[in-house]
Structures are given as structure tokens and as C-alpha cells.
Amino acid sequence: MMNLLSIILAISLLLISYTYLIYPWIISLLAKGKQLPDKRYTFEELPNIAIVFAAYNEEKVIVKKLKNFDAIDYPSEKLAIHLGLDHPDDSTAQLIQENLPSRFPLQVHHFMKRGGKANVLNKIFNEKIELADYDVIIMMDANIILKDDCLLELVKYFKDPQVGLVGAVIKNTIDGAGEIAQQEQFYISKESDIKVNEGLAFGATIGAFGACYAIRSAYIKNIPSNFLMEDFYLSLHVFEHGARCITNPYAVVFEDLPGSINEEFKRKRRISTGNFQNLKAYIHLLWSNTWPVGFAFFSHKVLRWFTPFLLLASIVASFLLFVLYPSIQIYQMVFVLMIVNIFLPLIDLVLKAMNISVNLLRLHRYFLSMNIAMFLGFIDWVRGVKTNIWKPTERL
């Protein structure tokens, strides 16, 4: 029994360390000295592209979004914008009509019954636009602001026929705002590094940031009903065509930081549910012929999705070792460390009530909270997803 519990404890902690610490280090070493494809368009050769995004109640951000389009550096005759309105009940529709961009054509597709983001996108691709008219589709969220050269940076590598998707990187725009601003900023920064390095090392960025990415129009497909993570679904679909997914660190978009840990908890729970939907749909990629894809998918994503279970296994194993073998000092120490880690978030909550923020404590609370959200997201997936209709994160 002692050997079995020790093995469970050791493997659980090793896998957690591997996915969060060791794999990012390995992938950075493999990417060192490598460059993105050197085939690029001249300005005259730039492809015809379409920006496609969905919006629900976005009255707080939609005007800024529309004004941002006029600052984009891209030939106006080669860019169209398609906005799918998922029957908002605030002033979003009115604000759009009052603030139409002047440089680029914006087509608003107002759906009179809420269907959720995936259904809105499916209807746009199936009913509202002719995909053959565009070489590349730019997918983005309604609250994302593009750096002026972002589109040029996203599309320039599609001259290489092996490239199927190019992801952008996110820069946070409100320094220090919100309860977990620094922690989310830290997480996004590390995720960006991993995605960039996966693209460099393998041509296999595992899931572009849904905030903004470019995908070859030939790889657009219908998103299954009630899927919550359509961006990840489309990203992984590219690998089934043998194409490459990369992330360009110079393709920059800006996004507000989350306002509270509670809002981010709900978002991560929803993301987790969608992750397990995608795992079921694309589990075959783990042992596909393109081994780097399976290796990166398992190391970067699958292990992280199962980290809540690894944490639970390590806690249970350490508790049983402590109870069954109280005379062995190492098991006592491990169990005490486990208990301390569990209660550290309570200390952060107490300090928060006193208007004191300790970054490491808040980061630890963020990590545990997001893993609880992932666990609950798994439970939601097991129970079955009845709808993909979403409520946007509360905007600042």
C-alpha cells in the first residue's frame, strides 16, 4: 500500500510540474534559434480577407471596437467585416448604426433569436458570406482592439501553403486593474510564450487565443451544436489537414483585464467544459502520425485539463500516507505542505479584506481557483451541455 500511494503521489506531482514548468522550458529550448516561415506576401499580393465576429450585449466596448477598424493598416479593397449580432437586448445594435467604420465595409447580420456564438458563426459561414471570396478569415472577440499592423502580421505567412492558422498575442490594457489583473497578465504572458515556441519548434501551436487569430478559409467547418470553445475546435481542425498552426508575437491585440476572480472563475469553468468537448472530438490527435502535435497537445493542454484530478490524487495520497505511516517524517512534511497550500487562499482573502495584496498569495489562490473551475467544468461536460448561449464577461 505504501509503495502504491507513494507512486500516486510522486506521479501526480511530477505531471503537474511537467505541464506547468518542465514542458515550457523544453519547448523554449526546442524553439531557440528557429524562425517563422520566410515566405511572405508583398503589399500588392496581400490576400482578400474577412473579419468575422459575433456580439451580444457589448454596448460598453462596441464603439471603441468600431473606431479601431478605421485605424487598421490594410488595403480597404481587400478587407470586409462581418458582424453577427446575437439578438442583443441593450443598445449594441443602435450604437453600431451610429458608429459605422468609414474605411472598410461592415455588414451587420442581426439574428432575431439568440443562438450562441457557434451558431451565429455557422450561419454567417453557411448563409451570409461566400467563403471562396476570401483567402483568410480573421476571427476575433467583440472586445478586442487590434494594433494597427496586426492584420498584416497575421496574414503575411499564409503565402506558405503549409500554414493553416496564425494566432495573435494578447497585451493587457489596464495596468493593475481588477482583483486578479497581475495574475491573469502573468498567465497570458506565459501562455503566449508557449504558443509562440510551439509554432517555432513544431508548427503546432495548440489552440490559438480565441481573442484573435487568422485561419485559411478552406479550413473553416461547421462547429458542432452546443460547442463552447469554437476557436479551439477550428484550431485543432487545421491539424487534420496536415497544415501548420503558428503564433506571430508581432501580431498584437489588446484586451481589458478581468475585473474579478469570480468573473474569471465562471469564464474558466465554461472554457473547461468546452475543452473536454474538444478532447472527445480530437483525442485521436494524441496518437496521430504527426507526433509533435500529439506531444504538444498532451503536454500543454490535456495534462493541464486533468491537473484538478492530479491535485486531488496528491492530496488524498499524502493524507493516507500521513495517517497510515505517521512515523515516516517525509510523509508528515508532505502532508503539512499540502494543508498549507490548501489554506493559503484563506490568508489571501483575509488580507484582501484589509486591502493588502501579496502577489504570490494571489497567484496561488488564482491557480487553485482556476483548477476548481476546471473540475466543475468537467462535471458540466459529463452532465451534458444543453446550450452554448453565452453571457459576456462583465466589461470594465
The CA-CA-CA angle for residues 128, 129, 134, to 5°, reads 165
The DSSP call for residue 204 is: B
Contact 36/71 with Cβ under 8 angstroms? no
Average pLDDT over residues 336-340: 87
pLDDT tens per residue, range 284-321? 999 876 779 999 999 999 999 999 999 999 999 999 99
pLDDT of the residue at 364: 85
pLDDT value for 185: 80
Q: Are 257 and 395 in contact (CB under 8 A)?
A: no
Q: 186: Cβ–Cβ under 8 A, 6 or more apart, which residues?
A: 363
Q: Which amino acid is at 296?
A: A
**Strand, coil or helix: 84:** strand
CA 66 to each of CA 57, 146, 390: distance values in angstroms, whole numbers, following the listed order? 15, 11, 22
| pLDDT above 60 for 363 | yes
pLDDT confidence of 283, banded at 50, 70, 90?
very high
| Residue 362 clears pLDDT 90, i.e. is over it | no
Domain boundaries, the chain: 43-261
Report the distance separating Cα 49 and Cα 80, nearest Å: 7
β-sheet bridge partners, residue 51? 81, 138
pTM to 2 decimal places? 0.90
Please tell me the predicted confidence (pLDDT) of residue 42: 86
- Which of helix, strand or coil describes residue 83? strand
- Closest CA relative to residue 222, chosen from 214, 230, 211: 230
The DSSP 8-state label assigned to residue 100 in this structure reads: -
Q: How far apart are CA 320 and CA 7, in angstroms?
A: 13
Does residue 323 register a pLDDT over 60?
A: yes
> Please, where are the H alpha helices in 39-134?
62-69, 92-98, 117-123
Longest Cα–Cα distance of the chain, Å, equals: 76
370 and 362 in contact (C-beta within 8 Å)? no
Task: Please write the tens of the pLDDT for every residue from 5-27.
Answer: 999 999 999 999 999 999 999 99
C-alpha to C-alpha distance for 343 and 323, rounded to whole angstroms: 20
Helix H segments across the chain? 2-17, 23-31, 62-69, 92-98, 117-123, 150-155, 181-202, 230-239, 261-282, 291-296, 303-305, 307-324, 329-353, 359-383
Residue 264 or 383, more confident: 383
DSSP string, 29-78: HHHTT---------GGGPPPEEEEEEESS-TTTHHHHHHHHTT--S-GGG
Each residue's pLDDT tens digit, 41-94: 888 899 999 999 999 999 989 999 999 999 999 999 999 999 999 999 899 999
Return the closest-CA partner of residue 73 out of 135, 134, 146, 144. 146
The class that CATH gives domain 43-261 is alpha beta
pLDDT at 38: 83
